[in-house]
Structure 1
Amino acid sequence: MSTEYADLTETVTAHLRARGLAAPETGLTVRTLTGGVSNDVVAVTGDGVDAVVKRALSRLRVRQEWEADVSRLTTEGRALRLAATIAPESVPPVLDLSAGFLVMGRAPDHWHTWKADLMAGVIDVHVAARLGEFLAQLQRRTAGRVERLRGEFGSRTAFEQLRVDPFHRQIRGRYPDLAPQIDRTIAVMAETTACLVHGDYSPKNVLVGDSAAELWVIDWEVTHLGDPAFDPAWIIGHLLLKSIHRPDYSDRYRAAAATFLDAWNCTDPESMAQLIRQTGCLVLARVDGRSPVDYLDQPGQVAARSLGRRLLGAPPHSLPDAWRLLV
């Protein structure tokens, strides 16, 4: 697996100057950030410049062959601009989107990912509430604009390449006995264009500061019109996985999940059934999909497989009840 990050110093410096975002005489410091498996990302600072610049990769940094359409960067920029019309305090501002680069405002230095807090056992239910409220607002405000948004967010190419194929379809091959439930999950996704879907609404893509008021949701590259159960499954699934990793904090992770779901405030039975299926798929995929989590030991992987199977094969009445399956 290649973990090399490109040196974008000269390229990014030239791009920012050409776009008028940095004066020709301004000295810039370019620092590589972790762009995950799918992007090159750098922080750029200098006189009057404080930005993050992102470039999408056509081949992802994973052990297995995994290619993806780089036009997802344009989708991300458009999605961030749309989200900013709904809740500008919850996303980084887009400064420029051109020539294969997305330039955004940079979060303050003391901000960090919510994942880092959760892994350390620092579980702020107020952050969970903010995420549930923001998701509800995003879904509600875009549900009535589906036809107008179809031109920009109707494509699911990146979503299929980066989510459905490496997650749902990969585990379908691994768990043929669960194929009917996984197929049902995929079919509902394929049939549904209810609202805007972030597509990676997970703790690693939430930046937080010293309070829940300081929060950004980042990484919108697989945004599309689709299944409203997909995004909440990413939050709940990761809280379940972290409960397996840190069982001493399981009650706190469950409280965060319940708070998130209360704020999201979905009461549709079909959506809730799909949410449980989506969560089961996610739990299995983060063990046996193309991009497994790196923090579960072998007993943890066994526990996650058991949980995912039960979520799909014998689902609980509600997702908070899934924590009883961990005992």
Structure 2
Amino acid sequence: MAAEAGAPTPADIYRARARIAGRVARTPLLSSPRLARACGADSVSLKLEMLQPSGAFKLRGATHALLALAPETRARGVVTASTGNHGRALAWAARAEGVACTVCLSALVPANKVAAVRELGAEVVLAGDDQDAAVAEALRLAETRGLGYIPPFDHPDVIAGQGTLGLELLEDAPDLDTLLVPLSGGGLLAGVALAVKAVKPDVHVVGISPQRGAAMIESLRAGRPVEVAEETTLADSLGGGIGLDNRYSFALVRALADTVVQVSEAEIAAAMRELHRHERLVTEGAAAVGAALLARGEVPGGGRRAVVLVTGNNVDMDRFTRLICERD
């Protein structure tokens, strides 16, 4: 399956960076000698996207897609479906621009993420038992209310916005040879890999999903988008399907991901604990999957200089506190 006409290009990512300048944070890299020792690499750096104002990388794509809309569309308001972080990001960006925002969330979205979206002034619509149901409701509202629909991942402007993260990596970690990316709908991996491989085509890109409900990985195995039952997981931000009518992210992930891997719930929990104990980071499960993979003791592809995307910190703090107090 080739990417459709209109798929994002590296040039689109550079344009996206100019468009969102001043509206998102340039996040730092944190060296982790502990993880480097664990996997035998020369260096491991953590890209701290959890320091975005909305608490996750999603602010990049949501802001860019919102600003790319025609002014008359923005004036009517926007709607999306989300597993939590995209909805929060769009609500943040919409509030900053004075745009009305509606976010459709399924019953699987944690209560803290639902509350965070509401606190940003967005209208929350609870729709169905999984992400597919939330998407269906968002599309219905877009049609009936005339709202601009901004998907969580499968859209050129969203992918280009996420790709701005890759441009920062090229500047701040020019010697990287391995990039570890949480993988769900694929918008993040597609954008970041598109930016990085345009300059450094030999960088080994690793997509990492939980063992539960890994829709993109199952679709890659099948050679086409397939439905996968959404399951409860610590990495709740990586839940949901990729859409049977996926137009962009599936083809880009298939072309750009060199390795895809799944990690267990126990590995995710252990990585969250270790990132807190040693790097003093509060991470949600989805943000810890890269560290979970390196804890197995090697870098996929044999790389020596790895960068791990630590994508968000929107975790229920009561649950997080209980988790980090548990013994491995």
Relative to total residues, which structure has the larger helix share, 1 or 2? Answer: 1
User: Is the TM value for this pair above 0.5?
Assistant: no
Q: TM-score normalized by structure 2? A: 0.27
Which protein, 1 or 2, shows the higher relative CO under an 8 Å CA cutoff with sep ≥ 6?
A: 2
Q: TM-score normalized by structure 1? A: 0.27
